[in-house]
């Protein structure tokens, strides 16, 4: 990976990690639906000028139905769930849970499209979910009360991310990724807006909440999508997905630096376990390739 691509990867992880801090600040004042309708609306405003260049507008119109479907399962629903969860959960804790989305994606791909799960990927799933159990048992991520619903909402949001990744492969395979991203944010805004109007806060959010919302929409969503698709184009999806390993680190760092959140031993142990499982599940770590040297003259073979 070139130095410029590595810089993009780190910047993307920093932005997505910061999104949990922004949500933690803004969600208690805005509520789930108003905050996330603003997030998707701002992101759509950032992305659409790039996406509609050339044949982008025609592509968006021709694929409106599947793009709207992805907007529902990849943005509207998980964003609303996170907006609810982050009124109670800390930024660092939720960022760690978010790293489980590749696990859900692997399970959905196995059940839906018959994608093979090798022994290493199964081991990664088991290790990763053991890390989630460590986090839950540590009980250091809940800020207010002991209700299980915020935790379950955050896990359901990550499961929807995994489901939507497989759904996008099936339904948006022929759609440009930037068109799909911009269109999905646009349709998600339309879906969230009626609920946002009904649930708009009676007490006006303060300047800190508004600033966090703008940063969430412009940088942690709009710019982050641009960086992600640029990485996919340059280094491929398999390498770009490595950003998943860095997001929890930045999520905990920003939460501790700006919000004064504690980083506990349970969080660190859970993070290490989840990230190791993620690395196995996504193929970032593949001990078979390292342990099986190729014989001479077989450089063109791809060992499995």
- pLDDT (tens digit per residue) in 177-203: 889 999 999 999 999 999 999 999 999
- What 3-state class would DSSP assign to 285? coil
Across residues 147-176, what is the average pLDDT? 89
Q: What was the pLDDT predicted at 296?
A: 46
Q: Is 295 exposed, middle or buried (0-12, 13-18, 19+ CB in 10 A)?
A: exposed
Residue 237 pLDDT exceeds 60: yes
pLDDT exceeds 60 at position 283: yes
Flag the least confident range among 27-36, 101-110, 215-224. Answer: 101-110
Residue 255, pLDDT score: 96
pTM for this entry: 0.87
Of 51-60, 133-142, 205-214, which gets the smallest average pLDDT? 133-142
Angle between helices 119-138 and 91-98 (to 10 degrees): 160
What integer pLDDT is reported at residue 288 of this predicted model?
61
Average pLDDT, the chain: 88
d(CA 55, CA 230): 19
pLDDT confidence of 102, banded at 50, 70, 90? confident
What lies within 8 Å, CB to CB, of 78 at 6+ separation is 156, 157, 158, 160, 161, 164
Residue 140 has pLDDT above 60, yes or no: no
Distance CA 28, CA 203 (A): 11
**pLDDT, tens digit, 9 for 90 and up, residues 241-276:** 778 888 999 999 999 999 999 998 888 999 999 999
For the chain, give me the number of helices (H) and strands (E)? 16, 0
Of the candidates 270, 285, 215, 193, the one whose C-alpha atom is nearest the C-alpha of residue 23 is 215
* pLDDT at residue 233 in the model: 77
245 CB neighbour count, 10 Å cutoff: 20
Q: Is the pLDDT of residue 165 over 90?
A: no
pLDDT band at 49 (very low <50, low <70, confident <90, very high): very high
Q: How far apart are CA 283 and CA 66, in angstroms?
A: 29
């Amino acid at each position: 990976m070139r130095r410029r691509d590595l810089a993009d990867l780190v910047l993307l992880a920093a932005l997505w990690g910061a999104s949990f801090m922004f949500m933690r600040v803004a969600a208690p004042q805005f509520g789930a639906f108003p905050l996330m309708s603003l997030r998707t609306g701002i992101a759509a405003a950032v992305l659409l000028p790039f996406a509609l260049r050339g044949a982008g507008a025609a592509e968006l119109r021709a694929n409106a139905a599947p793009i709207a479907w992805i907007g529902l399962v990849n943005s509207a629903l998980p964003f609303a769930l996170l907006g609810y969860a982050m009124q109670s959960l800390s930024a660092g804790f939720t960022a760690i849970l978010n790293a489980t989305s590749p696990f859900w994606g692997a399970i959905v791909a196995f059940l839906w499209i018959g994608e093979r799960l090798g022994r290493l990927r199964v081991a990664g799933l088991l290790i990763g979910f053991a890390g989630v159990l460590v986090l839950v048992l540590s009980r250091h991520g809940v800020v207010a009360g002991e209700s299980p619903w915020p935790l379950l909402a955050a896990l359901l949001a990550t499961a929807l991310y995994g489901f939507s990744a497989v759904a996008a492969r099936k339904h948006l395979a022929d759609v440009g990724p930037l068109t799909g991203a911009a269109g999905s944010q646009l349709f998600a805004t339309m879906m969230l807006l009626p609920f946002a109007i009904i649930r708009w806060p009676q007490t006006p959010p303060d300047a800190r909440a508004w600033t966090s919302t703008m940063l969430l929409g412009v940088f942690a969503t709009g710019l982050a999508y641009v960086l992600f698709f640029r990485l996919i184009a340059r280094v491929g999806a398999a390498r770009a997905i490595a950003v998943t390993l860095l997001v929890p680190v930045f999520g905990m760092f920003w939460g501790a630096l700006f919000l004064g959140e504690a980083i506990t031993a349970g969080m660190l142990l859970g993070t290490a376990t989840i990230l190791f499982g993620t690395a196995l599940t996504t193929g970032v770590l593949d001990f078979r390739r390292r342990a099986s040297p190729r014989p001479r003259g077989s450089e063109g073979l791809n060992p499995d």
